[in-house]
């Protein structure tokens, strides 16, 4: 299971990490970055969510439902 961790650094910036848990323990941490502004923090959170979503396997293959891919 993956989740996004936000915390305040010693310098006062907000850091963003993607953490992976197995059996209730954090087994891997990926540091995304840190920011002092809300705009920068939003970009980091979007990037972190993209990393989490890239690891997911879709339940349905939506390309198979696309009419353009079907030959009539």
Residue 42 neighbours by CB under 8 Å, 6+ apart: none
Round to whole Å and give the CA distance between 45 and 32: 9
Structure pTM?
0.75
Alpha carbon distance 44, 16 (integer Å): 7
Question: Alpha helix locations (H) across the chain?
Answer: 38-54
In a domain? residue 56: yes
In a domain, 67, yes or no: no
Q: What is the C-alpha to C-alpha distance for residues 72 and 62, in angstroms, rounded to an integer?
A: 18
Instruction: Note down the domain range covering 25.
Output: 2-60
> How many structural domains comprise the chain?
1
Residue 40 inside a domain? The answer is yes
pLDDT in tens, 11-45: 999 999 999 999 999 999 999 999 999 999 999 99
Alpha-carbon radius of gyration of the chain: 17
């Amino acid at each position: 299971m993956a989740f996004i961790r936000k915390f305040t650094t010693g310098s006062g910036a907000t850091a963003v990490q993607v953490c992976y848990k197995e059996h209730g323990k954090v087994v891997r941490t990926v540091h995304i970055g840190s920011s002092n502004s809300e705009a920068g923090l939003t970009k980091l959170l979007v990037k972190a969510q993209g990393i989490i979503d890239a690891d997911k396997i879709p339940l349905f293959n939506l390309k198979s439902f696309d009419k353009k891919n079907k030959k009539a």
